[in-house]
Amino acid sequence: MNKDDLIKKLKIEDVTKENQAIILENVANVVSTRIMVLIAEKLNDTDLDELNRLVDEQKDDEVESFIKSKFENYDQFASEVENQVIEELANSNEHLISAVNASDDNS
């Protein structure tokens, strides 16, 4: 999904461009976190230790290769998680906008 489609899906067209960027960054972080949590739940202890080592050493390319080696349909899995998160957030976009507005008030 491209940026404009995502903005429409999340119903944040009327939000400032700066706040849209914040929301989109937060969405990306939520998707990434959700994917990593689900992956961690499926790995055995040895694989989880190896994944943690790669993450700690900030070897992003190796992290991705390692994950893909452990999950045959990783791209499909990641896409499904992304779509699920976007649907959840789209259905509760008032919370997205409130959170960004609250951070503006604290600035």
Torsion of CA 72, 78, 81, 85, to 10 degrees: 170
Candidate from 42-51, 63-72, 83-92 with smallest mean pLDDT:
83-92
Answer whether residue 95 shows pLDDT above 70.
no
Question: pTM, whole model, 2 decimals?
Answer: 0.76
What's the CA gap between 106 and 79, in Å, rounded?
A: 34
pLDDT of residue 15: 85
Chain-wide mean pLDDT for the chain?
87
Residue extents of the structural domains in the chain: 3-100
